[in-house]
Amino acid sequence: MFASHADYGRLEEDARRVLDPAVFDFYAGGSGDETTLAAAAAAWRRIPLRPHVLRDVSVVDTRVRVLGHDLAAPVGVAPVGYQSLAHPDGELATAWGARRAGALLTLSSRSSRRIEEVAAEAGPWWFQAYVLRDRGLTRELVRRAAGAGASAVVLTGDTPYLGRRRRDRDPGLIPEEVFGVNLAHGFDRALAEQAADVTYDDIAWLAELSGLPVVVKGLLRGDDARDCVAAGASGVWVSNHGGRQLDGAVPTARALPEVAAAVRGAVEVYADGGIRTGVDVLRALALGARAVFVGRPVLWCLATGGQNAVADGLAELADGFAHAMGLAGVTKVSQIDQGLCAPPAAGE
Ligand SMILES: Cc1cc2nc3c(=O)[nH]c(=O)nc-3n(C[C@H](O)[C@H](O)[C@H](O)COP(=O)(O)O)c2cc1C
């Protein structure tokens, strides 16, 4: 969101200063030893690029079509729950900022503001669905999201239950009224947790009840991606949940080429996790992503400057991507291919 990973580090430090320490840790933390979390950004940075030269790059066009939406740049907002802990306007500010920047928004099932209110502020948006233990609650959420204008359902597949995060030290961090803001009055908390028995069959279930394309988020393997496509997914999203689920899971920068090769263009591929600069966006597209999504960078913008900072941060990321494209000698997103990345050196 930023010219460099150092800029991102400064933004994170600014957010740390303004946030309650328990909230900062809830957002920043990962599961287990945080191995996957720590590896995420470094894995992108380690991919060397092979720029072209002597191409006329006086005009660089970052526009891209993502599941039917014409976007100014291939950059979107990942679903992140409980944003009112970062800023009183929470998801409303993020939706406004994303719309202002022309970025696609993904709204979490764990939104701390009502779906309909967020929809009123949003440009194009997708709804992220967890299948909850009470499937009636999921049905209601997904139908409401479709009714409010979501254009796709993102089924998060990597969260049969939550990863164990040692930085989450305050069990009362998410007040009941925030947790339940989108749930029916008198819901049973245990039944509103993620279901552990979610399968590929749920892709068709969500598609049928929403009438929308379903993207599966949380994939790290080519075989799973192929199974999702066979089960009716319209897109696959390479993610390890920002290092918050299985600790030790592969960085998305390493998983992405396998997933892209497995689906062979049958559906669009997206990626998130540790993407911080326009150069990272370029790397992800070179490795097969149609678009990328950012989570924590948006939270830090939201915490430090509300809706305007979210808009500015996303615009800066898109601008950094345009700059990186020009320096790499490409002027259209369609010219970005795997040849822009150097294969790993022997021993890496
Ligand atoms: C505080 C926090 C809450 C999150 N909540 C959700 C969620 O509700 N649903 C979901 O699918 N992913 C959730 N994620 C994962 C993000 O969508 C995304 O995969 C991840 O944050 C991307 O990595 P990045 O933060 O390094 O950009 C959450 C991540 C964080 C940090």
pLDDT digit string, tens, across residues 91-114: 999 999 999 999 999 999 999 999
Closest by Cα among 119, 102, 123 to 314: 102
Mean pLDDT of 174-196: 91
Q: 52 C-alpha to center of ligand 1: Å?
A: 34
Q: 51 C-alpha to center of ligand 1: Å?
A: 31
Closest ligand 1 atom, residue 297 Cα: 27
Closest ligand 1 atom, residue 78 Cα: 17
What backbone phi and psi angles, to 5 degrees, belong to 221?
Answer: -135, 145
Q: 152 C-alpha to center of ligand 1: Å?
A: 18
Q: Decide if 129 contacts 156 (C-beta within 8 A).
A: yes
| Atom 19, ligand 1: residue with shortest CA distance | 241
Mean pLDDT of 131-143: 97
Question: CA-based angle 9:13:18, to the nearest 5?
Answer: 150
How far from 207 is each of 25, 121, 195, 339, CA to CA, in Å? Answer: 35, 25, 18, 36
Q: What does the radius of gyration of the chain's CA atoms come to, in whole angstroms?
A: 19
How far from 347 is each of 110, 218, 219, 343, 344, CA to CA, in Å? Answer: 42, 28, 26, 11, 8
> Which protein residues touch ligand 1 with a CB less than 6 Å away?
27, 40, 78-81, 108-110, 128, 156, 217, 239, 241-242, 244, 272-275, 294-296
CA distance 84 to 262: 38
| Atom 3, ligand 1: residue with shortest CA distance | 80
Q: How confident is the model at residue 8 (pLDDT cuts 50, 70, 90)?
A: very high
Q: How confident is the model at residue 194 (pLDDT cuts 50, 70, 90)?
A: very high
What are the structural domains of the chain? 5-340 (3.20.20.70)
How far from 47 is each of 32, 38, 280, 301, CA to CA, in Å? Answer: 26, 16, 9, 26
| Atom 14, ligand 1: residue with shortest CA distance | 80
Write out the two tokens for 203.
């892709």
Q: How confident is the model at residue 331 (pLDDT cuts 50, 70, 90)?
A: very high
Report helix, strand or coil for 270: strand
Closest ligand 1 atom, residue 274 Cα: 26
**Percentage, residues of the chain above pLDDT 90:** 92
CA distance 176 to 187: 11
Q: 55 C-alpha to center of ligand 1: Å?
A: 38
Residue type, 63: R
Q: How confident is the model at residue 119 (pLDDT cuts 50, 70, 90)?
A: very high
| Atom 15, ligand 1: residue with shortest CA distance | 241
CA distance 18 to 14: 7
Closest ligand 1 atom, residue 110 Cα: 8
| Atom 8, ligand 1: residue with shortest CA distance | 81
Q: Which of 241, 276, 280 is the pocket-test mutation for ligand 1 (most atoms within 8 Å of CB)? A: 241
Q: Decide if 225 contacts 236 (C-beta within 8 A).
A: yes
Mean pLDDT of 62-68: 97
Instruction: Say what the pLDDT of residue 346 is.
Output: 64
Q: Which residues pair with 291 in a beta bridge?
A: 270
Closest ligand 1 atom, residue 217 Cα: 11
Q: 322 C-alpha to center of ligand 1: Å?
A: 25
Q: What is the DSSP letter of 61?
A: B
| Atom 6, ligand 1: residue with shortest CA distance | 80
| Of 47-51, 163-167, 252-256, the least confident | 163-167
Catalytic site positions:
241
Closest ligand 1 atom, residue 272 Cα: 22
CA distance 306 to 220: 32
Q: 239 C-alpha to center of ligand 1: Å?
A: 9
Question: Looking up tokens 């502020």, which residue turns up?
Answer: 121
CA distance 3 to 86: 24
Instruction: Say what the pLDDT of residue 173 is.
Output: 93
Closest by Cα among 245, 312, 322, 239 to 281: 322
Q: 166 C-alpha to center of ligand 1: Å?
A: 17
Write out the two tokens for 151.
């254009």
Q: Which of 244, 245, 252, 293 is the pocket-test mutation for ligand 1 (most atoms within 8 Å of CB)? A: 244
